[in-house]
């Protein structure tokens, strides 16, 4: 099964993303500029070792010229890419090629932290350039603790880690087939959740929001974004992540500690709870779900 290393949340101004996160109770730490010189980032380190990467252009770079997810950054689109850790990027790339998936990499990458520490890793993107449905892969060349550690303010919080990546897709079955072929994910099932046509992969950290026509599969209307919203995102940015959910092991405590929207039902049986972080930057894009 896939284990999420981190998720990328992009915008045109890093300070704006960090301020919005602080407003809802998510502290972040500035991580420094990337080696490409066009983007910089901040980290929300979660207790399970995964993290949210806020990424934006550096002050002297236009969003359109950013090396990573330029369209997402220019549009302040939030969810941009998702990542899994592997032991060997080259071996992972070969596996992708063998399964019929195009790769971009491996690449060497780096950033310099505010204290001057140089952080290095190998990475590889999979699938077409404008297609973010597949996770990119990463393997550290320097100690992982250089890249991320859990934020001390969140270690004893109700948050556990990154629970779910929601992919905006034109056809769920087509994307499910791709992820089954590449990562052996299970067949998705319809579920209550944040989007009109919503399904989840049982036991895996992946869900789908579909643009297709048809009756709504979900009944939690107050939390939903419609198929028109998903279709517009896919038209402008391509298929790929449209929302992330963090896991909470004490949902009541999470509603008290963090600024969240109204709670809605979640899951195939509607027996779990979920809510968005209550800020314009995050509503419909970043939320909390009950374990």
Dihedral class, residue 56 (left if φ above 0, else alpha if ψ from -120 to 50, else beta): beta
CATH of the domain at 276: 3.10.180.10
Structural domain of residue 280, as residue ranges? 155-290
Q: How far apart are CA 254 and CA 203, in angstroms?
A: 23
pLDDT more than 70, % of the chain:
95
State whether 169 and 237 are in the same domain: yes
pLDDT of residue 226: 64
State whether 15 and 31 are in the same domain: yes
The mean pLDDT value for 24-53 works out to 97
State whether 137 and 164 are in the same domain: no
Q: Domain ends where: 147, 167, 201?
A: 147
| Cβ proximity of 103 and 123 under 8 Å | no
The two structure tokens encoding residue 27 = 């502290």
* 171 Cβ neighbours under 8 A, 6+ residues apart: 210, 212
State whether 111 and 195 are in the same domain: no
State whether 261 and 185 are in the same domain: yes
State whether 90 and 113 are in the same domain: yes
Kindly tell me if the per-residue pLDDT of 201 is higher than 60: yes
State whether 166 and 139 are in the same domain: no
Helices (H), 62-167: 70-74, 89-98, 144-147, 152-155
pLDDT of residue 284: 96
| Cβ proximity of 200 and 164 under 8 Å | yes
Calculate the average pLDDT of the chain: 94
Q: Domain ends where: 147, 180, 213?
A: 147
The two structure tokens encoding residue 253 = 């405590």
Residue 246, φ and ψ in degrees, nearest 5: -95, 150
pLDDT in tens, 48-82: 999 999 999 999 999 999 999 999 999 999 999 99
* 169 Cβ neighbours under 8 A, 6+ residues apart: 133, 175, 208, 209, 210, 211, 234, 239
State whether 102 and 196 are in the same domain: no
Q: How many domains does the chain have?
A: 2
Q: Domain ends where: 101, 131, 147?
A: 147
Q: CA dihedral defined by 276, 282, 285, 290, rounded to 10 degrees?
A: -30
Q: How far apart are CA 70 and CA 39, in angstroms?
A: 10
pLDDT in tens, 39-52: 999 999 999 999 99
Closest by CA position to 194, among listed 256, 266, 136, 121: 266
Q: How far apart are CA 258 and CA 21, in angstroms?
A: 10
pLDDT of residue 129: 83
pTM: 0.94
State whether 53 and 173 are in the same domain: no
Rg of the chain, C-alpha, whole Å = 18
Q: Give, for 236, the enclosing helix (H) or strand (E).
A: helix 227-237
pLDDT of residue 213: 57
State whether 112 and 22 are in the same domain: yes
Q: How far apart are CA 154 and CA 102, in angstroms?
A: 38
State whether 165 and 251 are in the same domain: yes
Coil, strand or helix at 26: coil
pLDDT in tens, 246-281: 999 999 999 999 999 999 999 999 999 999 999 999
Closest by CA position to 277, among listed 12, 13, 4, 20: 20
Q: How far apart are CA 173 and CA 262, in angstroms?
A: 31
Task: Find residue 159's DSSP bridge partners.
Answer: 248
State whether 107 and 74 are in the same domain: yes
Q: How far apart are CA 277 and CA 17, in angstroms?
A: 13
Helices (H), 50-113: 70-74, 89-98
Q: How far apart are CA 44 and CA 51, in angstroms?
A: 5
């Amino acid at each position: 099964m896939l284990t999420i290393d981190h998720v990328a949340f992009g915008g045109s101004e890093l300070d704006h993303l960090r301020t919005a996160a602080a407003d809802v109770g998510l502290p972040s730490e500035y991580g420094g500029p990337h080696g490409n010189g066009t983007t910089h980032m901040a980290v929300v380190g979660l207790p399970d070792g995964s993290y949210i990467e806020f990424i934006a252009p550096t002050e002297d770079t236009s969003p359109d010229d950013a090396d990573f997810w330029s369209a997402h950054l220019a549009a302040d689109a939030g969810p941009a890419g998702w990542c899994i850790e592997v032991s060997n990027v080259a071996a992972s790339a070969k596996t992708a090629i063998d399964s019929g998936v195009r790769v971009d990499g491996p690449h060497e990458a780096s950033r310099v932290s505010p204290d001057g520490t140089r952080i290095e890793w190998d990475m590889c993107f999979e699938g077409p350039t404008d297609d973010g449905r597949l996770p990119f892969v990463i393997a550290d060349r320097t100690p992982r603790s250089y890249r991320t550690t859990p934020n001390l303010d969140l270690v004893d919080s109700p948050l556990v880690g990154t629970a779910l990546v929601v992919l905006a897709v034109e056809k769920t079955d087509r994307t499910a087939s791709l992820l089954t072929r590449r990562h052996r994910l299970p067949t998705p099932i319809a579920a209550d959740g944040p989007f009109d046509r919503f399904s989840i992969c049982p036991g895996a950290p992946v869900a789908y929001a579909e643009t297709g026509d048809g009756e709504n599969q979900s009944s939690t209307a107050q939390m939903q974004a419609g198929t028109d919203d998903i279709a517009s995102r896919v038209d402008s940015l391509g298929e790929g992540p449209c929302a992330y959910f963090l896991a909470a092991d004490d949902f009541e405590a999470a509603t008290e500690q963090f600024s969240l929207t109204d709670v809605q039902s979640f899951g195939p049986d509607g027996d779990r709870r979920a809510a968005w972080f209550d800020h314009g930057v995050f509503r419909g894009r970043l939320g909390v779900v009950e374990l």
